[in-house]
Amino acid sequence: MPQSMRVLVFASQKGGSGKTTLAGHIGVMAELAGAGPVALVDTDPQGSLAKWWNCREAQAPAFIHSTFTNLVHDLDQARAQGFRLVVIDTPPAVTKAISEVVSFADLVVLPTRPSPHDLRAVGPTIDIVEARKKQMVFVLNAAAARAKITSEAAVALSQHGTVAPSFIHSRTDFAASMIDGRTVMEADPDGKSAEEIRQLWAYLENRLHKMDPAALAEPAQHANRNTNALGREVPAFGRRAVFS
């Protein structure tokens, strides 16, 4: 019987929310924390997550080149191949296709910058998540340290759902690390940004664990694996070409 696998979907109607950066970072952090094998899926036509992954030297996380229409099949295949977590990035728009992607989620992550424009734009995404009856969590991203608007945004968002206790602050190392396919945990593992991502993953992992304690408890045993640069083992098909 295929093992239990969890799906994290990062969704936000507002462009520039940092959704892709967080999806990549959480995928890597989950691997580093021993919750892999992890696979990334990019359903955004701009392909930003895919392009970042193509720049990576490390084999993990794996990347599954999928489309909206093939997603159900590809997720089934990922589950059969032994993946324990799939992280899906979505386009910055509200469409029927995104609603379909959300339907596969165990947990939907809504990155939101602490600005009036972002707070006003979050409504349609919330409507999709609630229509699909999925659990969701807001992540305050690109926050300014000790800024009043950050705490005000957290209070406003809490009226609609849970806000992750770990805020991600605005720092240039997030963008700088993504240039060559890395993350802040790999570029500066002792830095403040890396610690924030570790705390965010710990929170998300706890949420997922409560849904199914067996899902992320122990690495599944699976034949024909290769050790990657992160010291994790991934299914043999893990390093797939993103573009043909």
**What average pLDDT does the segment 168-174 reach?**
91
For residues 211 and 155, the model is more confident at: 155
Indicate the DSSP class of residue 238. G
pLDDT for res 3:
57
Task: Name all domains of the chain by residue range, CATH numbers in brackets.
Answer: 6-217 (3.40.50.300)
For the stretch 191-197, contacts whose Cβ atoms lie closer than 8 Å and that sit 24 or more positions apart, written own/partner, are 193/168, 193/169, 196/166, 196/167, 196/168, 196/169, 197/25, 197/26, 197/29, 197/168
Indicate the DSSP class of residue 30. H
How do residues 202-220 score in pLDDT, each as one tens digit? 999 999 988 876 656 544 3
**What average pLDDT does the segment 226-242 reach?**
41
| pTM of the full structure | 0.86
For the chain, the farthest-separated pair of C-alpha atoms sits apart, in whole angstroms, at: 52
**pLDDT for residue 240 is more than 50:** no
First to last CA, the chain: 32
DSSP helix/strand/coil, 142 = coil
Q: How confident is the model at residue 236 (pLDDT cuts 50, 70, 90)?
A: very low
Among residues 80, 88, 72, the alpha carbon closest in space to that of 27 is found at: 88
CA distances from 50 to 42, 226, 240 (A): 6, 21, 11
How do residues 91-148 score in pLDDT, each as one tens digit? 888 778 889 999 999 999 999 999 988 998 899 999 999 999 999 999 999 888 878 8
pLDDT for res 214:
60
How do residues 55-99 score in pLDDT, each as one tens digit? 999 989 999 999 888 999 999 999 999 999 999 999 888 778 889
Rounded CA gap, 104 and 219, in Å? 22
Among residues 91, 15, 9, 14, the alpha carbon closest in space to that of 47 is found at: 91
